[in-house]
Amino acid sequence: MRTSEQRPTAVATEIVLPGAVEPEGLEVRHVGTPAPGPGEVLLAMEATGVSFAEQQMRRGKYYDQPKFPFVPGYDLVGRVARTGPGVDPALTGRRYAALTKTGGWASHVVVSAADLVEVPDSVPSADAETLVVNGVTAWQMLHRTAGVEAGDTVVVLGANGGVGSTLVQLARIAGVRVIGTASRRHHDRLRDLGALPVDYRDPDLYGRLRGLAPDGVRAVFDHVGGEGIVDSFRLLAPGGTLVSYGTASTRDVAGSSKAPVLKLFARLTLWNALPNSRHAHFYNIWAGLRNADAFRARLRTDLGQVFALLAAGSIQPQVAARIPLSRAADALRLAESGTVAGKVVLVPDRTPHEKFAPEPAPTGR
């Protein structure tokens, strides 16, 4: 993916992470709009989001982030402004979502046409944006990794977060009982989503969770890691699955970003090898990328299911705020403030700079 190739006729905006910085250290750059190469399209961004990943990346703590400087932005929704050679020009003007890992925080983003996932017409871009990385992650963990069934009980840590609240909603649709941990101020929302709330700051958190499911649970979804992962594993009923997918508890710990993850992998591998009739997996949204066609087909199917539920009104998007792209620093601060619920969404600036001037399509297609 490219975001900063110079072109003289149109101006794009991109947000650059120059190094490990506080949010105010982000740089706003105006550059020429990038040109799509063979098999690529240029998306005019309509919504991109602030995830936990960007918060980790700005601290240099995301497991496999690129070297600084780079443009962050895990996902986006945008409209095709231009198509590159070999791509059907009829895609121009249509709206798609894409998972990018980095590069999404720009007014214009080049992505491979094969990575586009159609967004239903009835769904606003900001709403769809809240469910790209969150929706894929939640859907795949629930249905592909844990393989839950109606009547199961699961525990979702951080059930009010972006991934967590999506997990709760998808699980409820699948007929699954959900126990969710969250700060007390989010408990009403959890109840609204159909989960049984438990305060994650309760000193007897795991005792309370066991009290609600004395026979153990079918799955635990844990993005917290650290020593608590041992207790998460102990909550499982025989045949149950621990789905670990992050190490949020070590975000502010000094030192290598890889060490906590490698320690976690070692633990999960050991638990899987022991004859305890329980399973432990680390979910990675990028797993299987080496077989790109199968990876993309899975992503399109799974995100398509989530978008269909969104279009049908079966799941609720939660947009915490819409903030112009050039104020990404404010967006990062707001997302971490603990004062808002849902996903903070970045939208295009409405200034003369951001007006995209379409260019004549290159010849030879």
Ligand X SMILES: NC(=O)c1ccc[n+]([C@@H]2O[C@H](COP(=O)([O-])OP(=O)(O)OC[C@H]3O[C@@H](n4cnc5c(N)ncnc54)[C@H](OP(=O)(O)O)[C@@H]3O)[C@@H](O)[C@H]2O)c1
Residues of this chain that bind ligand X (CB under 6 A): 51-53, 133-134, 137, 157-158, 160-164, 181-183, 186, 200, 223-224, 245-246, 248-249, 283-285, 338
Q: Which is nearer to ligand X, 134 or 257 (CB)?
A: 134
Q: Which is nearer to ligand X, 177 or 223 (CB)?
A: 223
Place of tokens 């906590």: 260
Least separation in angstroms between CB 340 and ligand X = 9
- Asked if 233 and 225 count as a contact pair (C-beta separation under 8 A), the reply is no
Q: Which is nearer to ligand X, 87 or 219 (CB)?
A: 219
Least separation in angstroms between CB 138 and ligand X = 9
Please give the Cα distance from 273 to 282 (Å, whole number).
14
Q: Which is nearer to ligand X, 83 or 181 (CB)?
A: 181
Cβ-closest position to ligand X: 161
Tell me whether the omega of the peptide bond preceding residue 36 falls within 30 degrees of 0, making it cis.
Answer: no
Q: Which is nearer to ligand X, 139 or 245 (CB)?
A: 245
Please give the Cα distance from 219 to 279 (Å, whole number).
9
Please give the Cα distance from 161 to 182 (Å, whole number).
8
* Three-state secondary-structure class, residue 275: coil
Least separation in angstroms between CB 173 and ligand X = 18
Please give the Cα distance from 341 to 318 (Å, whole number).
7
Q: Which is nearer to ligand X, 103 or 246 (CB)?
A: 246
Please give the Cα distance from 359 to 299 (Å, whole number).
31
Residue 209 backbone zone (phi > 0: left; psi -120 to 50: alpha; other: beta): alpha
Return the bridge partners of 344, or none: 321
| Tokens of residue 254, six digits | 């000094």
Least separation in angstroms between CB 201 and ligand X = 8
* Three-state secondary-structure class, residue 115: helix
Q: Which is nearer to ligand X, 336 or 349 (CB)?
A: 336
Please give the Cα distance from 188 to 290 (Å, whole number).
42
Least separation in angstroms between CB 290 and ligand X = 16
Alpha helices in 120-186 (DSSP H): 125-129, 133-139, 162-173
